[in-house]
Amino acid sequence: MTTIRDETSSLIARRLRVEREARGWSQADLAARSGVSKATVSKIEREEMSPTAVVLVKLASAFDLTLAGLLLRAEGDGGRLVRAADQPSWRDPDTGYVRRQVFARPDHPLELAAIELPPRKHVTLPAASYAHIRQVVWVREGRLVVTEGGTRNELGPGDCLGFGSPTDVTLANDTDAPCTYVVVLARG
């Protein structure tokens, strides 16, 4: 298992720099396009700071990528078969949210991620992160509250929710037990 903080922080930093420079953007340009401060962009690129899930989603969206797409580019793309032992995992330093990238390839329209959200934690993702994708969440264990705009959906084991039009989304675990869920993303 890999984590950004322990094994891939330099790969993420390098990839952000490569994506930014490939577009001819300064750090200020990336900050303006992503809504992430220039100081934060600079600290991440210098490996002085581990980005949170929200920050990575904002940066990926500025590049017109999903979070998985950005992570995949950072770690290099493999083959069609992804062994369980080779599925990269990332832990959000703020919430302890763990995302295991089960499947993602630049030449395939679907991405699959397994998420564990610790008790009493939540993650709010901006509408921009859903601008070019469709998303479905399938709860495997525990309870998950998904709030899209003003709509609140409470999901239990086996429940599945397809996201609507892009809007800010909060995924919350309001219980005392971990919640695990699967996210399926389709580009288009």
| Max CA pair span of the chain | 46
Strand order in the sheet with 89-91: 89-91, 98-103, 110-117, 179-187, 133-141, 160-162
Look at the block and give the residue holding tokens 């980005």. 51
Amino acid at 165: S
Distance from C-alpha of 128 to C-alpha of 126, rounded to nearest angstrom: 5
Cα separations (Å) of 161 from 58, 97, 107, 135, 148? 23, 19, 25, 8, 11
Amino acid at 16: L
What is the reported pLDDT for 106?
A: 66
Both tokens assigned to 125? 């993702």
- pLDDT tens digits, one per residue of 18-44: 889 888 999 999 999 999 999 999 999
Positions in the chain short of pLDDT 50: 1-6
* pTM assigned to the model: 0.68
Distance from C-alpha of 49 to C-alpha of 46, rounded to nearest angstrom: 8
Which residue from 64, 58, 50, 54 is spatially nearest to 22, judged by alpha carbons?
Answer: 64
Q: Following DSSP, what letter does each residue of 94-115 receive, concatenated?
A: TT--EEEEEE--TTSSEEEEEE
Ranges for all domains in the chain classified under CATH 2.60.120.10: 85-187
CATH of domain 85-187: 2.60.120.10
Distance from C-alpha of 167 to C-alpha of 164, rounded to nearest angstrom: 8
Architecture per CATH, 4-75: Orthogonal Bundle (1.10)
What is the reported pLDDT for 70?
A: 82
Distance from C-alpha of 89 to C-alpha of 130, rounded to nearest angstrom: 21
Ranges for all domains in the chain classified under CATH 1.10.260.40: 4-75
What is the reported pLDDT for 5?
A: 43
What is the reported pLDDT for 3?
A: 39
What is the reported pLDDT for 172?
A: 98
Which residue from 98, 85, 119, 78 is spatially nearest to 5, judged by alpha carbons?
Answer: 98
